[in-house]
Amino acid sequence: MADYRIDGDKQRTRAIPVPESGHRGPVVLPELRLFERPVHRDTRGTFTELWREDAMLESDGLPRFVQDNAAHSRRGVVRGLHFQNPRPQGKLVSVAVGEVFDVAVDVRMGSATFGRWAAYLLSELNGRQLYIPPGFAHAYQTVSDVSVVVYKCSDFYSPDDERAIRWNDASIAIEWPIRDAVVSSRDASAPLLRDMLHEWLPQLDR
């Protein structure tokens, strides 16, 4: 039965069809794009190109990016699950220092993979970059002593459109590599997927 929340004279449904227990865990999400950039090593250390617009936009069909963010974290820290709606962002995630377990969750209502997740290890040494398009929530956990994650966004940060889902929501069942996670109070108190309002979630384009 649907659960309703009343806001003035407006009735808004909260009945979100989360995955059944037999349909949880990681899957292939074909909308994600994984890139491996060359990492040059010598006795001084390493060098790599994080972004080259002429190559990436033309050959890989990525959107134009308008904002760059960087976050420094210690081992065990989880940041996420975050997304924006109705003003969504695509994100190109890179790791400048350390290694992270990077996660994307399909939060598009009507998608066959709604509530399912995929994860990749991104590090300064493997040169991987993950593009997460609009319609997916993003999170990561630092698995090295420290990490510096750099990500490009296809739209500006908008506080009014910022959304979050509980990082350890059992209906999503992300298999975090470090159990004793360090999480902000805001992320720890984020709503579960099943408690999200419909208007907070993107609709699958048809």
- 4-200 sits in which CATH class? mainly beta
Q: How many Cβ atoms are within 10 Å of 44's Cβ, its own excluded? A: 6
Q: Is the dihedral of CA 51, 52, 55, 61 positive or negative?
A: positive
Top pLDDT among 6 and 172 is at 172
Tokens of 74: 């210690």
pLDDT attached to residue 21: 60
Q: Catalytic: which of 40, 72, 82, 198?
A: 82
3-state secondary structure of 98: coil
82 is catalytic: yes
Model confidence over 83-130: pLDDT tens digits? 999 999 999 999 999 999 999 999 999 999 999 999 999 999 999 999
What's the predicted TM-score (pTM) here?
A: 0.88
List the chain domain ranges: 4-200
Q: Cα-Cα-Cα-Cα dihedral of 176, 200, 192, 103, to 10°?
A: -10
Per residue in 42-81, pLDDT (tens digit) is 999 889 988 888 877 666 778 999 999 999 999 999 999 9
Give the model's confidence band at 24: pLDDT under 50 very low, under 70 low, under 90 confident, else very high: low
pLDDT above 90: percentage of residues in the chain? 76
**Residue whose token pair is 């609709």:** 203
Catalytic residue among 131, 138, 140, 151: 151
198 catalytic per annotation: no
